[in-house]
Amino acid sequence: CGFTPMHAPAGLSDAAFNNVRIELAAGIPVQDKEAAFWVQQALKTRLGNGDSAKHILRVKPEANRAGIGISGVDVATRYDLGLNVSYELIDMKSGKLLDSGSVKAISTIAASTDPYALTAAEKATVRNLASDGADRVLVRLAGYYANAAQ
Amino acid sequence: QFAANSSAPITGSSDRAEYSPGKIIFSGQVDIRQDNVRILSDEMTVFSGDRNRVVSANEAFEDVNRIEAVGNFFYITPDQEVTGAQGIYERAKDSFTVTGDVILLQGEDNVVTGDRLVYNLSTNQATVTGNCKGRRCGDKGRVNILIKNNDSQQSAPN
Amino acid sequence: QITPNGTAAGTNRPLQLAEDSPFRDPDIIYLEADALVNDEENGVLTAKGNVEGRYQDRTLRADEVTYSTNTGQVIATGNVVLVDPTGASQYADKIELSSELEAGTATNFTARFEEGGILGASIVVRNADDGVELYNGYYTACEPCRNSDGTTDDPTWQIKARKVKQNRERNSIEYRDAVFQLAGIPVFYTPYLAHPDPSANRASGLLAPFAGFSNTRGLSARAPYFIAVDDYTDLTLTPNVYSKVNPMMEYDIKRKFYSGEVNINGSFTYGSAFDNNGNSFKDASAFVNDPSEALTGKRLRSHLFADGLFDLTDFWTTGFGIQAATDDLYLNRYDLTEEPPRFGLYQADSRRLVSQAFVVGQSENTRLSISSFGFQSLRTSVIRAGADDVFNIFREDDSELPIALPKVEINSFVDDPVFGGRFEAFGDLTVLGRKVGEDYLRGTAGVNYAKTLIVPGGIEVKPFGQARFDKIDLELGDGSERNFDRTLGQAGVDIRWPFVKSTDGVDYIIEPRVQVTQSFGDGENENFSAISQTATTSLFQDSVGLDFGAADFYASNKALGYDFWQEGLRTDVGASLSANWNDSRASLFLGQSFASGYDDSFTFDSGLEGDNSDIIGEFEIALGSRFTADTRVRYDDADNVFRRIDTGFRYNTSRFSADARYYRLNKRQTADSDILLAPAEELSGGVTVKLTDNWSTRYQAFRDIDADVTRRQDLSLIYDDQCTRIEFIYNRSRNDIGIVGDNEGFGVRISLLTLGEFD
């Protein structure tokens, strides 16, 4: 039915797309630096360290939070934790922009009475969103490479 | 007289001079002077008032009707200097017209470049014009003026 | 005498010129013209015809420019334009410039500031300290647009004054005998008025709104006063006066340093607390609580929001954030934000403030964070207790809130040279202290390993492993202590087999994925519960609040924290299908997690209790940027019921936009960490309709369907042209906070561009 494996190397290889090197965009504010670190590590784990890279994947993650479930004492009881990752795929030699876009990962947590528990839940969720966001970027990249291959 | 409102005697020198009725053609580092004004050029033709009589240099200069100086033309006064390809003096208009890459040095540092300079000896005003008008000409063809105002240190802005 | 990094003549604005530019010499002026007349007698050079002048980094245009060689005076006449490199430009019929092309006196003069302000006058004189004085001048930020018949109608607002003075040294514009006109109609007169000069890019401008009304505070007006203390510090003092309550003074200090900046924003007043109708609390006996808790009494009340951020090196960043208020309801009473913008590492949840200090080091493979933070609660309710004028104060006690002193996190990744995988060394030391309640210390250290392998057929196989050691010390409120340590481990493999199909512009990607994880070591989770005769209370400091969804599905440690350790074998099975076509996308995820051989003290209603998790489904669709929707569900296949339905959409066009969000939770039972009165079913959303080019209306609401009450509603009518914003706001909230906090109110806010920052 026309589906082919996304990674279709003949033999063994140790990365999903081993011609891509990951880079964080410049000027990431301190609030988003932690999310940016985890997106970078999630991409590196799947893409390898990109020594033989021909393309640069430059990502700019932005974390955000919105309160919902307004309670009887006007307090948000659930939080939507979102992570927007905008990315650019750049040809290393020419610097030409090959592809760009942005993806969004979201997870909702229940707020708890203790503020530290909520802070810890946010920290852990941002780490999960980072790997989910990284996967979504790679799905887009797979689409680009599939088109480029045709 | 080509020095502004001065009737001092005109003296000059050149490598050669060729006399013919009504005009004398000096050539070769022509250098003529009146009062504190000096004119240099490669070649200069002086037309005197009486067109059919051959006159000496001094007589010619007393009764100058028209001067055509061509090639490396310089018109030097104590506080300004005009250079160009050629300069023409006409007594009728009492003006000097310099054309061809005209450069006017005014004071020590003010520089004006243009295509044509008309120096009116009676009003003591020099007017420089370019061969193109308006901002579309870019830097070619317009009058460029560079003012170096070194007396600005003393005069505090008013 | 060329000044390499000099400043533009007459200002302290740095020169914007190339290093070797000849124009750095302050004595050089360059003009281009159609003709030049050199009048030697009076020593005047006159450039005529489309004159274009250049001096340092300023450009001058005029029909004619005369330069007097002896006085150095430059006079430009006819369609004169003087443009600064910052974009600020001045137009006039005639400008007398000093030789440095600085505006001397001018007639029929207008100056346009880069940020949009316009300053004009019929006569302008440059004063001694280099500022500009305008006589019967005007200031506005509204672009005067010329109608078809050539007349220009009055700008929406402008300030006319007998004399307007631009004070460069104080970076402010000052007016004498100023009249404020709204659409040409004089509204109020003031003998003196000052506001920051918009061109001073450091000017923080003024905090909106400029004027307003609310039924708690009555009419309000604010007049900012701006002081450039020195080149690095500016201070804005903004007195706020109200018709129903005491005035309040706001201050905003911005201080720039070499490697960072500090922003301090605070306010203070002297008076008593008042309810949301503006009536002060006077009689302590009106409260059933202990007199010391009563809200009465006049005293100094204030708030302080300060933050500082410094980039020490490319690796190290340090900073601090202070958020504090003298009494819980102060911010709300004066309509000051109770949720300052996100800053630093931690953000407080609603009606709470957080103060923090941190040092963070981050590079491509290593992150080190040392921080300390604490909370202040603003959650106070004042509810009628029986008779009409007797009240009961319910207050969340700050001493029960933890202070983290310190929290140290280390994560460092190293490439494995042998197999090409990646090691992560991680460490986390968290020390929490509470005046009332348990203290907690946990030290964690461990190593993670993961290796991605693509085997023939395109299957992506990622074996991973973890070894970890925890040292935990809990000191309970009753003085007893629990001190234990545990050694834990995990080994697993994550297998995903993505397929791609790309036909006529649509990319399809299918990815089945399975992750099998075997955990080792005794989590000793029972140490985290205190069992007394009456109840068991949870001592978990983290690992709460999880609502199992697609983003967390493949986390190898699904507890949101370190305390709870998931034992036994776990298998997560899922598949995702996504389709992308031009700028639209759709994706579907389905998955379930199976576990065996461990106790299920995962938090209730996280979706992971019991051996089989709920079935997790997530569907998203985005049609360009016009319409996006997503739905997330948890289906309990044991009791055949949806434990969670969570769906939302957003639709926007230029004229109309709407967004809505609905969720329903079918809880097995409430966990004691849940917040009381938390809605199990809520519908929220908003609609914005652009009625005309300038008028638009917006309605927004949160409705708790469970309790059948609309917790918050805002209806606003907004007039917005490019220099004015007037909002008529009606808001209503239904909650049990009682007679404090905003319950119902009508307000008007008037904000002016460059006079009141538009938020």
For strands A55-70 and A20-24, give the pairing.
parallel
Which one is predicted more confidently, A47 or C147? A47
B42 three-class SS: strand
Lowest mean pLDDT among A56-65, B42-51, C235-244, C577-586: B42-51
**Res C207: pLDDT:** 36
Q: Is the pLDDT of residue C368 over 90?
A: yes
Q: Give the N- to C-terminal CA distance of chain B in Å, as an integer.
A: 41
Contact C711 A120 (CB under 8 A): no
Q: Under an 8 A CB cutoff, do C36 and B114 touch?
A: yes
Bridge partner residues of C48 (DSSP): C35, C64
- Neighbouring CB atoms inside 10 A of A62's CB total 17
Give the other-Cβ count within 10 Å of C416's Cβ.
12
Residue of C15 and C593 predicted with greater confidence: C593
Angstrom distance (rounded) from CA A85 to CA C80 = 49
Q: Does C366 touch chain B (CB under 8 A)?
A: no
**CB contact (8 A) between residue B158 and residue C98:** yes
Name the more confident of B99 and A12: B99
* Structural element, H or E, at residue A34: helix A30-47
pLDDT band for position C435 (cuts 50, 70, 90): very high
Determine the pLDDT at residue C651: 96
Per-residue pLDDT band at A13 (split at 50, 70, 90) = low
pLDDT of residue C102: 57
DSSP helix, strand, coil percent of chain B (3-state; round to 5): 5, 60, 35
CA distance C643 to C615: 10
Q: Where are the beta strands (DSSP E) in C497-538?
A: 499-503, 506-520, 529-531, 536-538
C-alpha dihedral sign at C185, C187, C192, C195: negative
CA geometry: angle C345, C351, C356, nearest 5 deg: 25
pLDDT of residue C722: 75
Using CB atoms within 10 Å of the CB of residue A85, give its burial: 0 to 12 exposed, 13 to 18 middle, 19+ buried: buried
Query: CA C525 → CA C439, C470, C475, C569, distances in Å?
Result: 17, 12, 16, 17
Task: Return the biggest CA–CA distance within chain C.
Answer: 112
The yes-or-no verdict on residue C421 having pLDDT over 70 is yes
Which residue would you say has higher pLDDT here, C759 or C336?
Answer: C336
For residue B38, the model assigns a pLDDT of 87
Task: Output the six-digit token pair for C279.
Answer: 């009536």
Q: How close does chain B come to C747, measured CA to CA in Å?
A: 51
CA distances from C697 to C517, C594, C654, C729 (A): 53, 50, 13, 10
Q: What chain C residue is nearest to B144 in terms of C-alpha separation?
A: C32
- Residue C622's beta-bridge partner residues? C585, C628
Closest alpha carbon within chain C to A101: C583
What is the Cα–Cα distance from C606 to C613, expressed in whole angstroms? Answer: 9
Query: pLDDT tens-digit profile of C482-495?
Result: 999 999 999 999 99
pLDDT at residue C310 in the model: 95
* Residue positions counted in chain C: 759
Q: B88: part of which helix (H) or strand (E)? A: strand B80-90
Top-confidence range, A67-76, B109-118, C208-217, C362-371: C362-371
| Maximal CA-CA distance, chain B | 61
- Residue B74 CA to residue B37 CA, distance in Å, equals 10
In angstroms, the CA A144 to CA A6 distance is: 11
What is the CB neighbour count within 10 angstroms for residue C583? 11
> In the prediction, which pLDDT does C742 show?
67
B129 touches chain C (CB under 8 A): yes
CA distance readout (Å), A79 to C452, C507, C547, C635 = 33, 33, 11, 21
Element (DSSP H or E) covering residue C68: strand C58-68
Higher pLDDT pick, C434 / C38: C434
- Between CA C717 and CA C696 the distance in angstroms is 6
Contacting residues of C for A140, CB less than 8 Å apart: 580
Residues of C in contact with B143 (CB under 8 A): 32-36, 47
> What average pLDDT is seen over chain C?
84
Residue of A5, A9, A79 lying closest to C499 (CB–CB): A5
- Give the DSSP letter of residue C554: T
Contact between A46 and C452 (Cβ < 8 Å): yes
Residue C604 or residue B156, greater confidence: C604
E strands in C168-210 = 172-182, 185-196
> What b-and-e string marks burial along C67-89, b requiring 16 or more CB atoms within 10 Å of the CB?
bbbeebbbbbbeebebbbbbebb
Buried-exposed string C499-534: b where 16+ CB fall within 10 A, e elsewhere:
bbbbeeeebbbbbebbbebbbebebebeebebeeee
A–C interface: beta-carbon pairs under 8 A: 267
Asked if B touches C (at least 3 Cβ pairs < 8 angstroms), the answer reads yes
Percent of all residues in chain C with a pLDDT value above 90, rounded to a whole number: 38
Which of C34, C99, C125 is the best mutation test for B, with the most CBs of B within 10 A? Answer: C34
Confidence of residue B150 (pLDDT cuts 50, 70, 90): low
Non-local CB neighbours of C522 within 8 Å, separated by 6+ positions: C486, C567
Asked if residue A109 lies in contact with residue C547, where contact means CB atoms within 8 angstroms, the answer is yes
For residue C159, what pLDDT is reported? 85
Residues of C in contact with B128 (CB under 8 A): 35-38
C47 to chain B, closest Cα gap in Å? 8
Residue C6 has a pLDDT of 54
Here the tokens at position C69 are 């060689």
ipTM over cut 0.95 = no
Question: Smallest Cβ distance to C379: which of A6, A73, A106?
Answer: A73
Report DSSP state, residue C614. P
The pair of three-digit structure tokens given for residue C152, joined into one six-digit string: 């220009």
The verdict on a CB contact (< 8 Å) between B147 and C67 is yes
Q: Assign 3-class secondary structure to C668-703.
A: CCCCCCCCCCCCCEEEEEEEEEECCCCEEEEEEEEE
Q: Which residues of B touch C40 (CB under 8 A)?
A: 79-80, 124-126
pLDDT bucket at C670, cuts 50 / 70 / 90: low
Distance CA C345, CA C323 (A): 14
Nearest to A22 by CA among A50, A62, A46, A52: A50
Residue C314 phi/psi, 5° resolution?
-65, -25
Q: Do A73 and C402 lie within an 8 Å CB cutoff?
A: no
- Rounded Cα gap, residues C54 and C695, in angstroms: 45
Q: CB of C540 within 8 Å of any CB in chain A?
A: yes
Please judge whether B149 and C29 are an interchain contact, meaning their C-beta atoms are less than 8 angstroms apart: yes
d(CA A89, CA A144): 10
Q: In the structure encoding, which two tokens stand for residue C647, read together?
A: 């769906």
Sign for the pseudo-dihedral over CA of A125, A127, A130, A135: negative
Q: Alpha-carbon distance B108 to B146, whole Å?
A: 11
Which pLDDT value is given to residue C1?
A: 34
Write down the pLDDT at residue B152: 41
Task: Report d(CA C271, CA C282) in Å as an integer.
Answer: 11
Instruction: Compare all CA atoms of chain C with the CA of B78 and give the residue at the minimum distance.
Output: C40
The chain-wide mean pLDDT, for chain B, equals 80
Task: For residue C514, give the nearest of C595, C439, C431, C574 by alpha carbon.
Answer: C574
Would an 8 Å CB–CB cutoff place C41 in contact with chain B?
yes
User: Is the Cβ of A95 closer than 8 Å to some Cβ of chain C?
Assistant: no
Task: Report which secondary-structure segment, H or E, holds A140.
Answer: helix A115-149
pLDDT in tens, A92-142: 888 899 999 999 999 999 998 899 999 999 999 999 999 999 999 988 888
Cα atoms in the Cβ-side hemisphere of radius 13 Å centred on C711: 26
What is the mean pLDDT of the segment spanning C592-612? Answer: 78
Tell me C331's DSSP state: H
Q: Give CA–CA dist C479/C477, Å, rounded.
A: 5
Smallest CA-to-CA distance from A40 within C363, B12, C705 is with: C363
Query: In the structure, what pLDDT confidence band is assigned to residue C204 with cuts at 50, 70 and 90?
Result: very low
Question: What type of residue is C167?
Answer: N
| Report for A11-20, B144-153, C237-246: range of highest mean pLDDT | C237-246
Q: What per-residue confidence (pLDDT) applies to C168?
A: 67
pLDDT at B111 over 90: no
Q: CA A4, A9, A11, A17: dihedral to nearest 10 degrees?
A: -130
Q: What span, in angstroms and rounded, lies between the C-alpha atoms of C160 and C572?
A: 71
Measured at the CA of C617, the angle between CA C614 and CA C622, to 5 degrees, comes to 160
Task: State whether A31 and C344 contact (CB < 8 Å).
Answer: yes
Query: What token pair was written down for C568?
Result: 């036994």
Q: What is the DSSP letter of C740?
A: S
**C271 CA: distance to closest CA in chain B (Å):** 53
Total residues found in chain B within this entry: 158
Name the residue in chain C with its Cα closest to that of A143: C507
Residue position matching structure tokens 């045709």:
A150
Instruction: Decide if A16 and C502 are in contact by the 8 Å CB cutoff.
Output: no
| Residue C56 vs residue C559, higher pLDDT | C559
Put simply, whether the predicted model's pTM sits higher than 0.80 gets the answer: no
Confidence of residue C290 (pLDDT cuts 50, 70, 90): confident
| pLDDT of amino acid C4 | 42
DSSP states of C371-435: EEEEEEE--EEEEE-SSTT-EEEEE--GGGS-EEEEEEEEEEEEE-TTTS-EEEEEEEEEEEE-S
Between CA C437 and CA C372 the distance in angstroms is: 19
**Tokens coding C557:** 């440690």
Q: Where are the beta strands (DSSP E) in C456-498?
A: 459-475, 481-496
Q: Chain C contact for B148, CB < 8 A?
A: yes
